[in-house]
Amino acid sequence: MKAEVGWQAGATGDGITVGVIDSGISSSQGDLQGRISSASTDVVSGRNTPYVANDSHGTLVSGVIAANFNSFGTVGVAYQSTILSIRADISDCKDKDDKVCFTGSDLAKALDYAVANGVKIINMSLGGDGRMGSAFEAALLRAVNSGAVIVASSGNDGEANPGWPARYAVDSRFAGSVIAVGSHNASNVMSSFSNKAGDTASAYISAPGDKIITGCDGTSCYEVSGTSFSAPYVAGALALLMDAFPNLTGKQALAILVETARDAGDAGTDIVYGRGLLDLGQAFRPVGSTSTPMADGTTIVPEAMPGSFIGGAFGDAFGRQTALETVLFDKYDRMFAVQLGQAYRAAPARSYQAAPFEPSRTASTSLALPNGGRLNLIAAQSAASPEPIAPRHDLLNAPWMGDEPRQEAMLNLESGRLSFAAWQGRGGAVSPFGGGAGDGFAALAQADHAVRGAMRFGALTLSAENGGGDRRMPLSRVEQDASTYSRATLGWRGAKGGLSFSAGALSERLGPLGAYMPGGSDFALPSQTRFYALGGDWALRPNLRLIGEAGLGSTRVEGRFLSMDQAAISSNWRLGLLSGCSTLCDSFSLTLSQPLRIERGTFAAWLADVPIDYFDPLTYSRRTFSATPSGRQLDLILGGERRLWDGSSVTLQAVASREPSHVTDAPPAYALIGAWRRQF
């Protein structure tokens, strides 16, 4: 039943009294010392014996609820709760096989006594074959009207329906305040002796009741079985819930246990297990819709969309912060402490899987224009190819594409110094306008359409481009034009190399620098980034070329509750050598690079403080944390290509990453990528 989840949340049952209507209790029982209320009583007229000399059924039931957490025996579910023992048994039973039995009138007096003492949880590990009589039903109605809930064992006859009073659970007069409890064993299978849910399925759950250890003193314990011992597990669970969440009524606490029961048997509510198995692990989690209060009086829904993540440039900045702890309330108005930073999951690690070879069919046409101009139209799509051994899916780059065929088309106009191109792609087609300074920022838009214009002035070229792309995760709606970018570049090309300088802007509705926080989420972080980059290449020798690029970005974020006081500064760079070689390879490359990383920036939010006492009024404070990750990823990439005698080629690339994902204590990452290609 995962009681330890409640204990880890600080719940022990302290301050909660559970009424146990049964055969009395032993005041000398070792595991119940300090747990028995002095108001315990005997309601049978003329006897006045609330405590029994020997261990009794009531003692064993009470041990399941409240056995002390001490150095021996077992532990009760609510081990610091108080037991109000109400003895109501008689020994003059009509059935000679019964040693203990009850009358409806005595049980009515027992219920009234529990109500008079303010008890909100009443355990009745007893039952019979028929209704309990009008006096009992009237007392039961008084009890539920007082706010008490009744936990009743289903019975041990292996029948299809529970006995009474458990069957009152579906009586409209008591609905929601009475629960029928069956028994399952350590394998979560219904005990053979347990009466099943039957016609009380909507108000029936199952709890441990097979080979239960209870009634412990300093030397020994009892091992017992029966639905008499599954009912107190539910009563103890109610005590833990009402201790941890003191705003709950008994009826609300019972509704939570029913709603969070772990499904068993046939899917959904069924006639064997009813609503399912008692599960405190689920009961101590928020139920239903949740909300987190904001300082301006509004609320947010503290739930991230499936598959969402923050941009890789932030590394572990969100995962290691503690500033975003606040409170949330579920549909029962229970208060939970929550760390909102957990919604901003780290970006998926880069996949080093080699891109598959995708043959394509291309169609093109060219039209000559006046004054030497030319208009070109090119369209391409993937050609039919064998099914891959495993489809390629990449969570970081267009994961929704899957096996969608790649298609693209480009219109290119050239006239003298002027050129203009428009491109449209789908199915993972990559924009053809890469290869210049600032690609590290422009690529974050994952463009599926772009236009580019350029003007040449001798060795100088001035160009401008604009593009954008949709974003979507599997089973999620498409976010149209989620990211757009624009970039202007001034390039110079000489005999030995060239330089280019770019300035641009990147707009991302779903989050900064490649993040995916869907627009419908309160965790979305719409952002605007201005970026600048310088890149170039230079021939050091006839077969040795130096390449390099450095970029700098300034990002502003304005989320629903999270924002930045100042723009975050980010950087990326790469430096490499390209060379020809004569023996083992035809070409060789060595590159050292740093992926995009936040260098400076601070997030801020006004959030509710977690109160010391549950009913303390909420206060709000301003929280800040650094957007800079703890580490700095550096990638060393060694690559080579060799053409073979038959016209095919082999390429190899070895990658070593220091502090991958910008996490300072992350172990180094390595990748070795090889490919062989031959054109037929």
Q: What is the pLDDT of residues 267-284, one digit of tens each?
A: 999 999 999 999 999 999
pLDDT of residue 370: 84
Domain-ending residue, one of 266, 283, 300: 283
CA distances (Å), origin 651, targets 448, 655, 674, 678: 28, 13, 6, 12
- Quote the domain boundaries for residue 572: 360-384+393-677
Number of structural domains, the chain?
Answer: 2
507 strand-pairing partners: 484, 528
Residue 473 makes CB contacts below 8 A (sequence gap 6+) with 305, 306, 307, 308, 399, 400, 516, 518
Residue 678 makes CB contacts below 8 A (sequence gap 6+) with 646, 647, 648, 649
Q: Is residue 101 part of a domain?
A: yes
Query: By the 8 A CB rule, do 554 and 530 touch?
Result: yes
176 and 69, same structural domain? yes
pLDDT digits (tens, 9 = 90+) for 102-145: 999 999 999 999 999 999 999 999 998 889 999 999 999 999 99
Query: By the 8 A CB rule, do 514 and 555 touch?
Result: no
376 and 244, same structural domain? no
Query: By the 8 A CB rule, do 223 and 211 touch?
Result: yes
Q: Is residue 291 part of a domain?
A: no
pLDDT of residue 474: 60
User: At residue 516, does pLDDT exceed 80?
Assistant: yes
**Lookup: tokens for 130:** 């028929």
CA–CA dist 383, 362 (Å, integer): 9
83 strand-pairing partners: 18, 36
Angle at 79 between CA 64 and CA 210, to 5 degrees: 20
Higher pLDDT, 334 or 129: 334
* Residue the block writes with tokens 């509510």: 269
Q: Is residue 289 part of a domain?
A: no
Residue 143 makes CB contacts below 8 A (sequence gap 6+) with 111, 112, 114, 115, 122, 150, 177
pLDDT digits (tens, 9 = 90+) for 427-485: 778 888 887 889 999 999 989 999 999 999 999 999 999 999 987 766 667 778 889 99
Domain-ending residue, one of 259, 283, 307: 283
579 and 491, same structural domain? yes
255 and 400, same structural domain? no
Residue 272 half-sphere exposure toward CB, CA atoms < 13 A: 13
pLDDT digits (tens, 9 = 90+) for 539-548: 998 889 999 9
Of the listed ranges 323-327, 394-398, 674-678, the least confidently predicted one is 394-398
CA–CA dist 64, 214 (Å, integer): 6
341 CB-contact burial (10 Å; exposed 0-12 / middle 13-18 / buried 19+): buried
pLDDT tier for residue 597 given thresholds of 50, 70 and 90: very high
Q: What is the CATH number of the domain that holds 60?
A: 3.40.50.200
pLDDT digits (tens, 9 = 90+) for 286-320: 999 999 999 999 999 888 777 789 999 999 999 99
* Residue the block writes with tokens 């993972």: 428
419 and 274, same structural domain? no
Q: Which amino acid is at 43?
A: V
Higher pLDDT, 405 or 308: 308
* DSSP helix, strand, coil percent of the chain (3-state; round to 5): 15, 40, 45
Angle between helices 104-116 and 134-145 (to 10 degrees): 20
277 and 400, same structural domain? no
pTM of the complete model: 0.82
Q: Is residue 355 part of a domain?
A: no
CA–CA dist 335, 245 (Å, integer): 7
Q: Which amino acid is at 255?
A: A
364 and 257, same structural domain? no
CA–CA dist 414, 409 (Å, integer): 17
CA–CA dist 179, 250 (Å, integer): 12
Of 119, 161, 112, nearest to 137 (Cα)?
112
**Lookup: tokens for 541:** 């020798």
pLDDT digits (tens, 9 = 90+) for 232-266: 999 999 999 999 999 999 999 999 999 999 999 99
pLDDT tier for residue 401 given thresholds of 50, 70 and 90: very low
Q: Rounded to the nearest 5°, which phi and psi values hold at 185?
A: -95, -170
CA–CA dist 512, 529 (Å, integer): 8
Q: Is residue 251 part of a domain?
A: yes
Average pLDDT score, the chain: 91
Of 429, 179, 476, 125, nearest to 308 (Cα)?
476
412 and 276, same structural domain? no
Q: Is the peptide bond before 165 cis (omega within 30 degrees of 0)?
A: yes
Query: By the 8 A CB rule, do 159 and 195 touch?
Result: yes
Q: Is residue 310 part of a domain?
A: no
Of 83, 103, 101, 91, nearest to 40 (Cα)?
83
Domain-ending residue, one of 236, 253, 283: 283
413 and 274, same structural domain? no
Q: Is 440 helix (H, G, I), strand (E, B) or coil?
A: helix
- Per the document, the length of the chain is 680
Q: Is residue 340 part of a domain?
A: no
Query: By the 8 A CB rule, do 591 and 636 touch?
Result: yes
Q: Is 431 helix (H, G, I), strand (E, B) or coil?
A: coil
pLDDT of residue 360: 76
Q: Is residue 288 part of a domain?
A: no
* Residue the block writes with tokens 């023996």: 583
Hey, CA dihedral for 17, 18, 22, 27, is it positive or negative?
negative
pLDDT of residue 391: 54
Q: What is the CATH number of the domain that holds 414?
A: 2.40.160
pLDDT digits (tens, 9 = 90+) for 199-210: 999 999 999 999
Q: What whole-number percentage of the chain has pLDDT above 70?
A: 94
Widest pairwise Cα distance in the chain: 120
495 and 631, same structural domain? yes
Q: Is 661 helix (H, G, I), strand (E, B) or coil?
A: helix
Chain mean position to CA 87: 47
Q: Sheet with 178-184: list strands edge to edge.
A: 41-42, 82-87, 17-22, 121-124, 149-153, 178-184, 204-208
**Lookup: tokens for 321:** 């912060």
- DSSP string covering 180-233, please? EEEEE-TTS-B-TTS---GGGGGGEEEEE-SSEEE---SS--EEE-SHHHHHHH
254 and 365, same structural domain? no
pLDDT of residue 317: 95
User: At residue 397, does pLDDT exceed 70?
Assistant: no
